[in-house]
Amino acid sequence: MSSCKLTYFNSQALGEAIRLLLHYGKIEFEDIRVDYEKDWPSYPKDTLPLRLLPILEIDGIQLHQSIAICRYLAKIVGLAGTTRLEDYEIDNVVDTVNDFRARLAGAFYEQNTVAKEETLKIIQNETIPLFLGKLEATAQQNNGHLALKRLTWADLYLTGMSRYLIRLVGSDFTANYQNLRKVIENTESTPGIKEWVAIRPDNPY
């Protein structure tokens, strides 16, 4: 790669997993951060495929859709599977993390207060125990990873999303899900990533 440029908000959320993959692979990139309050309202959104961030530009090619970008980078940096079934296992858990995020976000960003209250009840009583219980069991079976009993891009995906998930859940769920905490700790102590984690902007989510 002769040029690599990530454009995302000044937050971790949907962009941090991409940053983790690039740092893991020691791929130099420009880390352009758009301030949501100050820059985003006047940002030229028509230049974005779906008026959304993140965007990764590699050698002039504009990539969007964060999970598709992560999977692409994972193959480059060696964090994908080595068989079809291994890749399925990673894809499965990534989509499960993303489904969990989407359900939480649906409640979190609900504008209507009555609807929000109803949805939050389901989130607390059903969605959170169901999804975190499933992911915790998966992390336990895989010795502190989310797939293949080794570091894969699924671990980086969860880790990059973790502060945002904590914000959406409303509390630090990793206190009650020790194996998911292990996934995050394992990832953040990985060479390439740990140096980044030590110096990155301390975004709350």
Q: Does 65 bind a copy of itself (CB under 8 A)?
A: yes
Comparison of 108 and 196: residue with beta carbon closer to a copy of itself: 108
The one among 39, 40, 47, 49 contacting a copy of itself by CB under 8 A: 49
Q: What's the CA gap between 186 and 131, in Å, rounded?
A: 21
Pairing label, strands 4-9, 30-34: parallel
The one among 27, 32, 34, 67 contacting a copy of itself by CB under 8 A: 67
Comparison of 98 and 203: residue with beta carbon closer to a copy of itself: 98
The one among 1, 36, 40, 115 contacting a copy of itself by CB under 8 A: 115
Q: What's the CA gap between 193 and 23, in Å, rounded?
A: 6
CB of 139 to a copy of itself, least distance (A): 14
CB of 58 to a copy of itself, least distance (A): 9
Comparison of 133 and 195: residue with beta carbon closer to a copy of itself: 133
Interaction pattern, residues 129-148, with a copy of itself; x per rule: CB under 8 A:
-xx--x--------------
The set of residues, in sequence order, having a beta carbon less than 8 Å from that of 4 and lying 6+ positions away, is 22, 27, 28, 29, 30, 56, 57, 58, 59
Q: Does 102 bind a copy of itself (CB under 8 A)?
A: yes
Comparison of 116 and 167: residue with beta carbon closer to a copy of itself: 116
Burial class from Cβ neighbours inside 10 Å (0-12, 13-18, 19+) for residue 46 reads exposed
Q: Is the peptide bond before 129 cis (omega within 30 degrees of 0)?
A: no
Residue 81 and residue 142 in contact, taking contact as beta carbons nearer than 8 Å: no
Q: What is the largest CA-CA distance in the chain?
A: 51
CB of 40 to a copy of itself, least distance (A): 16
For residue 52, give the 3-state DSSP assignment: coil
Q: What's the CA gap between 145 and 147, in Å, rounded?
A: 6
What residues numbered 143-202 form the site for a copy of itself, per CB under 8 A? none
User: How many residues form the binding site for a copy of itself (CB under 8 A)?
Assistant: 35
Q: CB count, 10 Å around CB of 15?
A: 26
* Footprint of a copy of itself (CB under 8 A): 49-51, 61, 63-65, 67-69, 71-72, 75-76, 84-85, 87-88, 91-92, 94-96, 99, 102, 106, 110-112, 114-115, 118, 130-131, 134
